[in-house]
Amino acid sequence: MEKIEFEKEKEYLADTIKLVNKKLKYYLNYEQKVDNMLDTSNNEYLEYLRNNANKINDNDFVEIMNMQSRLDDLQSDTIDINKSIEVCHKMQNKPYFASIVIKDRDELNPEKYYIGIHSLESSQKNYRVIDWRSPIASIFYDVEHGKCQIRTNSSILNCFLDKKRQFGIDKGELKYYIDSNINIEDDLLKIALASNTSNQMKSIVQTIQKEQNSVIRGDEYKNLVVQGVAGSGKTAIAIHRIAYLMYKLKGKISSKNINFLSPNNAFSSYISSVLPDLAEQDIDKVQLDDLARINLKNHCIVEKKFEQIERLILSQDLNEYNLKTSYEFLLEMIKFANENYINNFDIQDFEVNNTLIDSKKIKELFFGRYKDRDLFTRLKWITDNIFDLYFYKVKSVDRILKYKQFIFTKLYKAIKNKNCVKAYMNFLDSKNLKLKLVGNKVKNEDAYGILFFKIFIYGIDKFENIKHLVIDEMQDYSAVQLYIIKNLFDCVYTMLGDFNQTINPTSSKKILNSFNNILGVESNFVELNKTYRSTSQIVEFYNKIGKKSNVNYVNRSGDAVEFIKTNEKDEISTILSLIDDFKTKGFRSIAIITKTNIQALDLSKKFENKNININLIDDNVDKYDNEVCIISIYNSKGLEFDGVIVYNVDDSYSSELDRNLLYIACTRALHKLTLTCNSQEFSKLIQN
């Protein structure tokens, strides 16, 4: 770094922070002003209601609506101001992380742009810092050096990237900068990867790679399916894509219009800080199993996902599971439902308030105009159509509701067997299968069959306000579940997963080929084959376990994978010694990963009264704390740890299903991976 250039950069940083502080002072003063206005308006509104409660006329109603609108506007202003204050606080510490110098296509007229998590205007249309999501900033991620293009919605500008610079800024102080005309990977990325993790996912905005950037900025109106190897940054990319969509579609979409389908509570907690770090409001996370339990609470008790996984691991019998989660099984259910509920629909003429309703008209609508709709929607739309045809003169709201309810009830009575559990059992009978309980619970894969028939017969309340849904760990969803998701969320999807990280990769890959048919629209497919998580030694080891040969990785060297034989008597002291060693290395997150939840619970009890705080992370945990934790392989999916101890890798790991589980466990480690065994020999899956 040249001293003169370094001083220039220090001066630019100091002036930028002065501007941030000036804007912060303005927003804090404006916040107080709006708060006072909000208090005054709210008091006036309440006083008006008290004084006019018994004599409100049409004019008063208009005045009340105007006052409510003003309150809404002030509350909206408060939200915007709070966000601006939050952005300023973040920019005080680090207003930008990179800069680019762009010339015109003749390599003349250089202009320098500083890139941060948010834009900063010094005057109208004069940006001191540009947002990382802007079209210009995309050049930083996509281009090494030379000719490039700035793409907007309406134009393409040809230009020339002359220089990229990355900054090390901490607490408002410039520590260093790096000029680089090569891929980001070679410098700050390795520094970031070598650092220790925490119990919250970090933003990757400074180190986004070209292939990741293409996913983040992908077509906002098309479904996107991302197949990425472990450690390729799938989840981080998805959350940064959410931030990008809220930037590009500002005014059309907000955090309230985006949902995240999460595998479990611990994972939801783990990713909850990324959007706030990017100065965006976090989004709601939901779990499909929770939605299933809510919709089936009056019909059956649903086996939890982790209970299903435990059952399959212990039984090693995937035949029926593979059948019931397949695309072919979904098609057979749809065929059965149509044959038994659609084709057999039969209704006779009936009267409504002495008016004869022609059944031919109903059948014409049912089998004709609305033939592409599900049963519930058909009946609802036929009801509206019949009412408009015969009773268009009726204006009373009460009579309209009464007539429509009567018509709908008549139509519904023509449907035989409206019990969704019985309907699914009849379908299973047609396939020479039986509905078998696990204790008093319906198997997880069967619960979604029941829910399919409930949706088909009764319909379901959709998430009407959701415009974009992110589905993580997509490889764990069956064809029936994807069909149900489509019925719950009629919107654009970003779907992410790794078909190597499932209990049956072959079955899941078949479902992938049917995504477009299930979702009803074409999806863009992106494959990410480079991992950024683990050291070279760890990646090479788990690739051998998983029999993977096409996975690329960042060449970051570390400790060799370690194998420790112990016994039941000494296993706890051995693990405690490993934890001490990991902590000595500065590791901030350490996981002991077990094959099953039952094993995790049993192991956690052995650490009681051992003067160490070890967290058990299972299905009951709402907040993720990974300083030292015990967690099952399934619950560890999507998470990462500085150091990983895979517990007791003995001959119980023997099948191809076990190979997949072991692969998942080992891919969780960033810097250090240790496998223990309490018997004479390690599993044959790793002996070679």
Mean of pLDDT values over 3-17: 94
| Domain ranges for the chain | 1-93, 98-197, 201-286+463-532, 345-415, 536-686
Tell me, what's the pLDDT at 191? 60
Whether 659 contacts 545, CB under 8 Å? yes
Confidence of residue 19 (pLDDT cuts 50, 70, 90): very high
Is 60 exceeded by the pLDDT of residue 169? yes
Q: How far is CA 527 from the centre of its chain?
A: 18
Q: For position 302, what pLDDT does the model report?
A: 96
E strands present in 554-668: 562-565, 590-594, 615-617, 628-632, 641-646
Q: What torsion, rounded to 10 degrees, do the Cα atoms 375, 378, 381, 385 define?
A: -140
Give the whole-angstrom CA distance, residue 154 versus residue 206: 27
Tokens of 422: 């019985």
Question: Regarding the domain delimited by 536-686, which CATH topology (the fold level of the hierarchy) does it fall under?
Answer: Rossmann fold (3.40.50)
The class (CATH top level) of 201-286+463-532 is alpha beta
196: pLDDT confidence band, cut at 50, 70 and 90? low
Q: Which two tokens stand for residue 523?
A: 């999806």
- Model confidence at 199: pLDDT above 90: no
Render pLDDT for 534-556 as a digit per residue (tens, 0 to 9).
999 999 999 999 887 778 888 88
Average pLDDT rounded to a whole number, residues 568-575: 93
Kindly indicate the confidence band of residue 667, based on its pLDDT and cuts at 50, 70 and 90.
very high
- Using one digit for the tens of pLDDT, what is the confidence trace for 318-377? 889 999 999 999 999 999 998 888 888 889 999 998 899 999 999 999 999 988 787 888
- pLDDT for 56: 67
Q: Per residue in 455-498, pLDDT tens?
A: 998 888 899 999 999 999 999 999 999 999 999 999 999 999 99
Residue-level pLDDT at 192: 58
* The total number of residues written for the chain in this structure: 688
Q: What is the mean pLDDT of residues 298-306?
A: 94
| d(C-alpha 59, C-alpha 107), whole Å | 66
Whose structure tokens read 């990008």? 244
Average confidence (pLDDT) over 181-187: 53
Q: What mean pLDDT do residues 123-132 have?
A: 87
Could you say which DSSP state residue 408 is in? H
- Cα(606)–Cα(391) distance, integer angstroms: 73
Mean pLDDT lowest for which of 415-424, 429-438, 589-598? Answer: 415-424
What confidence score (pLDDT) does residue 332 get?
A: 96
pLDDT at 316: 73
**Ordered alpha helix ranges (H), 348-470:** 359-364, 375-390, 397-413, 420-430, 444-458
- 57-104 residue pLDDT tens: 667 777 888 888 888 888 888 888 998 999 999 999 999 999 999 998
SS3 523: strand
Helix (H, G, I), strand (E, B) or coil at 134: coil
- Closest Cα partner for 302 from 438, 494, 166? 438
Q: What single letter denotes the amino acid at residue 449?
A: G
Separation of alpha carbons 580 and 602, rounded Å = 22
201-286+463-532 against 536-686: fold identical: yes
pLDDT band at 181 (very low <50, low <70, confident <90, very high): low
Is this prediction's pTM over 0.85?
yes
